[in-house]
Structure 1
């Protein structure tokens, strides 16, 4: 099997007539155990680096970093970039780049803001129950059309993606200003703003546990369904102990996340103001609400699940990785690389629109500078997460982890009062180091 198929996550078939199982004996050493569990060593390194970052910042801030409040804010702040980073994985894997995603986020947010604040109220009134649905659908259509336009120019007219998206970086930022001549659009629809993860924009304690239980069930299902499919097609099986360890670790992380999110209470004053704004009775006794998991984090989980499925289980995903591994061979094998390129940028446009929902809902307004420099954060998240700039290799989970690492650095430095200019320097240095590590790793395994 080719390197391209391996990069796309396609398991190597066993060329024996009967199924051959991996040795069930426990391997020697940590490296052997990780190989048996099919864990990417670079991913383990990133997780260790994230833990070190958290511990160091917690020590130097006097215990302010690893707290339910800060981790809740960190999860919300990471969401917008993480969603776009999942799409940037496909873009970079296919050996392209997209410099326009930050401007496109701002343009989609401004269009959605204008649609729900200036256009819809003339027909439906303010805070109409379906306004948020119509606004999000409108924004996704705008992102899809813009992505299709850029993808068509790149795929069918053969203009380099760097040039097209650099033009988009300028054009869509100007278009966002042109829509309202630079004016901030506010207030947004009441239900729409819930997607920013503020008061009321969370699942609460009970539904967070429901979400966690569903996530654990999904982890178990996908692990053993994947094992069943491997067995059916005579692919090598991981040792059962490795399968169980993977499930237990992921489930434990999910449960711990729910516990931490539920440990952060809604400020009582904010809770009472929330009830008053919705004409709901305000009790005299103290309110004890748990924030729970924020809606932006739920959006990240849903997008990650869909994008992982697309990458590993669909023909489109396999074609994207094949293009990145060897574009000439992919085209000669019958893959319509032009159409796939257009689809990639259409997908990126949709994800930019979804991120625009979260970013504008967090601010409860659509400002002209929304999404500024997000294109660099998104590219950095994908690259830090292990997506190779040489194409053909990358993971959705890695991109989300990269976004979390980057936001953790920024949040920690903000708690320490570090100037924003120095924060940018640190993130830039980390990006260069991540690319250097990727190059060293690829040389060692002989892929470059």
Structure 2
């Protein structure tokens, strides 16, 4: 039983840490933090950082990082706003243009890093300046207001409450089914499985968390639509990393690029794909960001690259590459957003918030280094 408790704590440490943060802020804000309205707003706020944290997670697992992703968010969001408002192209063409720009930016930076052998730090730092300049050019350094209800729904809409219940039940069935399939697969090939009591404990935890989540969400207006985008992308990225050859290549390149090359992996193509994937998530985040605010501003995306990197580190994705999970990045983004949301409710000054988040980031990196040394 003691071993089962330790295994549970190891697996759900980030969830427990998040729960502690919520309890502390609930106490400090006289329960305002945990009201259904604020929890709903918190999840909607998390989506912008969460989406790019997914791409950044893949990038860091491959052994790289991107300092330009905040500017990519701003540039793609600005292009979609210009296409929608000034060029009057409609919602779908505006979104497609933004996604294409994100893919092109990823291709541009990936070629320099993978084939030009220029350090990612230099390429993406230059990209940060280039694409921030593109934001200012597209917006004329002015705010572009959006008024298309369909486009705004992407960032501000909610799912109907009955649909929310249905999707939550399906999510519980899928998560438990995937775990049972994994246990059967291990049994089939002669590997040991954790005790069934441990699995039942985990399934009960999943059902309780999802149940509380949907009750709270439906107590306000339902599940925010942008959160559905995050979940869909997270499932897609999880499948990519865990179930495809490309995912194995990404982990191999991040773990030891020389060994990966000697084993026949095309490192350059893998790295190029990683940057294209990351900037695609930047474009999706840009669309969601301006839809949530119903406007594209010259400052859109500023500083998001640091939040994305911090989310990944807090989510136990190793900066040395080769280790980490998609769900860790999502939890890390939720931790970062919870800190920001809670401190804002307490009316803490911006400089205090930055100091706190900086300390949290340093502690997360220290824990990552310590864990790496222990594993060695």
State the TM-score bracket (shorter-chain normalisation).
over 0.9
Structure 2 stretches lacking a partner, 5+ long: none
Check conservation: 1:219, 1:251, Cα contact below 8 A.
no
Residue 232 (structure 1) shift? 3.4
2:331 maps to which residue?
401
Q: Is residue 2:323 matched to residue 1:412?
A: no
Structure 1 stretches lacking a partner, 5+ long: 1-27, 122-130, 265-290
Check conservation: 2:46, 2:337, Cα contact below 8 A.
yes
Residue 134 (structure 1) shift? 2.4
Check conservation: 1:196, 1:295, Cα contact below 8 A.
yes
Residue 440 (structure 1) shift? 1.4
Q: Is residue 2:74 matched to residue 1:106?
A: yes
Question: Alpha carbons of 1:392 and 1:409: their partners in 2 closer, same or farther (altered >3 Å)?
Answer: same
Matches within 5 A, 1:310-349: 310-349=240-279
1:107-146 C-alpha deviation (Å, 9 max, x unpaired): 000011111112235xxxxxxxxx3232222211110111
Counterpart CA distance in 1 for 2:94 and 2:196 is 48
Residue 227 (structure 1) shift? 2.2
1:304 maps to which residue?
234
1:205 maps to which residue?
161
Q: How many pairs does the alignment contain? A: 376
Per the alignment, in what secondary structure is the counterpart of residue 191 of structure 1?
A: helix
Matches within 5 A, 1:133-152: 133-152=92-111
2:23 maps to which residue?
55
1:95 maps to which residue?
63
Counterpart CA distance in 2 for 1:214 and 1:51 is 24
Q: Is residue 2:88 matched to residue 1:120?
A: yes
Corresponding residue to 1:295 among 220, 225, 247: 225
Counterpart CA distance in 2 for 1:185 and 1:234 is 60
Check conservation: 1:113, 1:188, Cα contact below 8 A.
no
Matches within 5 A, 1:182-331: 182-197=141-156, 201-264=157-220, 291-331=221-261
1:348-375 C-alpha deviation (Å, 9 max, x unpaired): 0110111111110011111111011001
Counterpart CA distance in 2 for 1:187 and 1:249 is 41
Residue 34 (structure 1) shift? 4.2
1:405-444 C-alpha deviation (Å, 9 max, x unpaired): 1111111111111001110110000000011111112222
Counterpart CA distance in 2 for 1:32 and 1:243 is 10
Check conservation: 1:76, 1:294, Cα contact below 8 A.
yes
Residue 47 (structure 1) shift? 2.2
Counterpart CA distance in 2 for 1:161 and 1:443 is 25
1:437 maps to which residue?
367
1:170 maps to which residue?
129
Residue 295 (structure 1) shift? 0.5
1:292-349 C-alpha deviation (Å, 9 max, x unpaired): 0000111111111111111111111111111111111001111000000000000001
1:40-90 C-alpha deviation (Å, 9 max, x unpaired): 72x533222211211111111111111101101100001110111111111
Cα-Cα RMSD: 1.5
Counterpart CA distance in 1 for 2:299 and 2:19 is 33
Check conservation: 1:187, 1:364, Cα contact below 8 A.
yes
Check conservation: 1:136, 1:357, Cα contact below 8 A.
yes
1:264-314 C-alpha deviation (Å, 9 max, x unpaired): 1xxxxxxxxxxxxxxxxxxxxxxxxxx100001111111111111111111
1:66 maps to which residue?
34
Check conservation: 1:360, 1:366, Cα contact below 8 A.
yes
Counterpart CA distance in 1 for 2:353 and 2:300 is 19
